[in-house]
Every structure is written in C-alpha cells, then in structure tokens.
Amino acid sequence: MNKWSFYSIAIIVAAIASFYLYIDARTLDVKKSELPVDQDTAIQISQRYLAGGWKDPVDLHLTPYSMKSTTETKETFVVDIMDESDPGACTGYEVVVEKQTGNVIEKQRLNYCD
C-alpha cells in the first residue's frame, strides 16, 4: 500500500467520522426569551428530535409523530409521543426535555399496547 492510498483512506474515514459527530451533536436553537421551556415548546422539541435533522416546525404535521401526553416535573418535561407510521404496532417514545436549556436528556422507545 503506497503513501497516497493510506492518506486517501485516512481522509475518507475522518470525513465519515466528522459527519456522524456533526449529526449526533445537533442542537435546537432555542432563544433565551423562550427559556425556561414551556409545555408547547417541549412537545415541539420532542417531535423535531424524533423527526431527525431538526425538522422545520412548519413541516411537523407531515411526520408520523403525535403527542400522547405530557408530564411536568420540577426540572423536566416528559413527553409521550405516538409513532403513527404503523397504527397496529402501538409504539411510541418517551422524550425527556430539560426545562432550563431545552436539551433532550433521554429518549426511550415504549409499547403503549401493554
């Protein structure tokens, strides 16, 4: 293996790793005036997080995710989202959004049929 092949492979691997790190590190731009997060903003953050790539709020009605319920704790909102892409599956997600920052702390897949 010559020197240029090694450099080419290293550059490709670095580009792929950078791409995945960029996608994983995405954050929602929440204005300071919107903090602390209220219930409606927590629902929107959860839906956009599940839609991937921080979908524009105008297009959220096109996604298969709808809010089922919301629970407020002292520091977080726990948002239950139904995945309507397969109506018979009864699946969804529980997304925990921190009030002070608007960050998604946890995402857990749930089965609502049980």
* pLDDT, mean of residues 3-14: 84
What pLDDT, on the 0 to 100 scale, is given for residue 89? 73
Question: For the sheet containing 104-111, what is the strand order?
Answer: 65-72, 76-83, 91-98, 104-111
pLDDT confidence bin for 73, thresholds 50/70/90:
very high
What pLDDT, on the 0 to 100 scale, is given for residue 55? 56
Residue 85 included in any domain: yes
Residue 21 included in any domain: no
Whole-structure pTM value: 0.69
Q: What is the 3-state secondary structure (H, E, C) of the chain?
A: CCHHHHHHHHHHHHHHHHHHHHHHCCCCCCCHHHCCCCHHHHHHHHHHHHHCCCCCHHHHHHCCEEEEEEEECCCEEEEEEEECCCHHHCEEEEEEEECCCCCEEEEEEEECCC
Domain hosting 82: range is: 31-111
Tokens of 51: 């839609």
What does the pLDDT look like over 81-110, one tens digit per residue?
988 887 777 888 999 999 988 888 999 998
How wide is the angle at C-alpha 110 spanned by C-alphas 30 and 17, nearest 5°?
Answer: 55
CATH number for the domain spanning 105: value is 3.10.450
Statement: residue 8 has pLDDT above 60: yes
Mean pLDDT of the chain: 80
Residue 91 included in any domain: yes
Residue 101 included in any domain: yes
Count of structural domains within the chain: 1
How far is Cα 96 from Cα 33, in angstroms, rounded to an integer? 21
What pLDDT, on the 0 to 100 scale, is given for residue 51? 78
pLDDT confidence bin for 25, thresholds 50/70/90:
very low
